[in-house]
Amino acid sequence: MSREKIVAYLKDAIENRLENVDLPDDPVEAGTRFDELGLDSLNLVELALLVERDLTVVVTDEELANLETVSAAAEHISTSIDDGAPTAAVQG
């Protein structure tokens, strides 16, 4: 799966699927930092679980917090997929 598709997946997940997130008015972009979006540790846990379920790639909330941006998370997930992790179709 391309990095661009993973960025699109993450943007959709953040904007439409996470619970209790009060997003800023600016759209979520690849370079947007998770802390700029107001994502707390519980939101990152939820995002990690969505990634694992939908993309069948294990990424932890701690990894997401350390990666800091949507783009960095997408690159990490893409690398994990390229390294042989099984993938599932993106749901949307």
Q: How many domains does the chain have?
A: 1
pLDDT in the model for residue 91: 43
Give the CATH number for residue 7: 1.10.1200.10
pLDDT in the model for residue 83: 75
Does residue 57 sit within a domain?
A: yes
Long-range contacts (CB closer than 8 Å, 24 or more residues apart) made by 7-10: 7/70, 7/71, 7/74, 9/54, 9/55, 9/90, 9/92, 10/47, 10/51, 10/70, 10/73, 10/74
List the pLDDT tens digit at each of the 92 positions of the chain. 899 999 999 999 999 999 988 898 889 999 999 999 999 999 999 999 999 999 999 999 999 999 999 999 999 999 998 776 544 444 44
Does residue 45 sit within a domain?
A: yes
pLDDT in the model for residue 85: 52
